[in-house]
Structure 1
Amino acid sequence: MDSRKRKRIRILGKILFILYVIFIVYFLLFSDWYGRTGEMREYHYNLVLFKEIKRFWQYREQVGFFAMFTNLFGNVIIFIPFGFFLPMGSRQRSFIATAYYSFVLSLCVEVFQLITKVGSFDVDDLLLNTIGGICGYILFAICAAIRRRHAGKKTKNRR
């Protein structure tokens, strides 16, 4: 792959990453879809790991499939693009860096929700969001390996 094409892909990655961060900030902090329309009167937080995960799984029939799915899997799914676009659009391409920045972004969101009383601070969300970032990185690594393999075959065929 020539340097111009590589540079365009990196620019595309940066643009997608910025759009994704804007989306995630809006969705997690201000979206009406999750009742973020007003401030709560009290602070809501969970500092016990697996407490909410266990509760949503245990009462899945009472809370409904959608609530259970969005809490358990939605927190993972929403951070997959972060883990994919971060190494694509930056020099931070390591697994550790992606896991760290996924955790930091999730922590910022959770602390903001706690301070502003819009949503709740939940350590389970930190875990699930970080797992989502890691899944995105794994997807990125697989795609990069496929791209390198494909590019290697092209250069062999040209010789």
Structure 2
Amino acid sequence: MLKKFYKIIIVPYTLFLLYLMFLGMGRFQYDDNLLTVEPIISTINFIKGAISWKDIVIIVLGNIVMFVPFGFLGWVFPKLNDLKALLFSFISIIFIVEALQYFTRMGIFEIDDIILNTFGVYLGFLLRKFVEKRLGNWAV
């Protein structure tokens, strides 16, 4: 039952997430192509310069939590039941999305986003394994 619901909701969810990544949350086109390639440094600097904890939670935790559902992609694509295959596929795709943000100047290519998003997928994968173990056939 959960798998059926997931299969219905994942496409609109993905489209919503792409909207947020390119057009939502007050996005605008930058004058220059911007990138941050020093892992973790930009996130630490963001936290240091943040005006409020709300900003930190929305940006940092949001970059993790919003990608947890992609840890369940093995329910749609059986080859992605393998963690290595899932992470390789996801990192390849999120790299392309970040590159599109860079080339369209509708965002910043950030290594930290790739790291945080991938961590979210990993947590989703662990959650999926937990759900399958706990709920068994009900999850199917």
The normalised TM-score by structure 1 is: 0.77
Alignment check: 8 A CA contact 1:29 1:109 kept: no
Deviates more, 1:8-17 or 1:114-123: 8-17
Shift of 1:10: 4.3
Q: Does structure 1 residue 22 correspond to structure 2 residue 15?
A: yes
Unaligned runs of 5+ in 2: none
CA distance in 2 between counterparts of 1:97 and 1:87 reads 10
- How has the CA–CA distance of structure 1 residues 41 and 128 changed in structure 2, closer, same or farther, with 3 Å as cutoff? same
Unaligned runs of 5+ in 1: 1-7, 152-159
**Structure exhibiting the larger radius of gyration computed from Cα positions:** 1
CA distance in 2 between counterparts of 1:46 and 1:58 reads 16
Deviations 1:75-95 (Å, cap 9, x if unpaired)?
0011011112x1122212111
Alignment check: 8 A CA contact 1:14 1:89 kept: yes
Q: Report what 2:58 is aligned to.
A: 70
Q: Report what 2:71 is aligned to.
A: 83
Deviations 1:46-105 (Å, cap 9, x if unpaired)?
011111111123334xx2212222221110011011112x11222121111222233223
Q: Report what 2:34 is aligned to.
A: 44
Using CA pairs under 8 Å that are at least 6 residues apart, name the structure with larger relative contact order, 1 or 2. Answer: 2
CA RMSD of aligned residues (A): 2.1
Q: Report what 2:44 is aligned to.
A: 54
Q: Quick one: percent identity of the two aligned structures?
A: 23
- How has the CA–CA distance of structure 1 residues 21 and 149 changed in structure 2, closer, same or farther, with 3 Å as cutoff? closer
CA distance in 2 between counterparts of 1:150 and 1:42 reads 50
Q: Which amino acid aligns with 1:89?
A: V
Deviates more, 1:89-98 or 1:139-148: 89-98
After superposing on structure 2, the runs of 4+ consecutive aligned residues of structure 1 that deviate more than 3 Å are: 8-12
Which residue of 94, 98, 106 corresponds with 1:110?
Answer: 98
CA distance in 2 between counterparts of 1:56 and 1:9 reads 37
Q: Which amino acid aligns with 1:73?
A: L
CA distance in 1 between counterparts of 2:8 and 2:30 reads 34
CA distance in 1 between counterparts of 2:53 and 2:11 reads 32
Q: Report what 1:157 is aligned to.
A: none
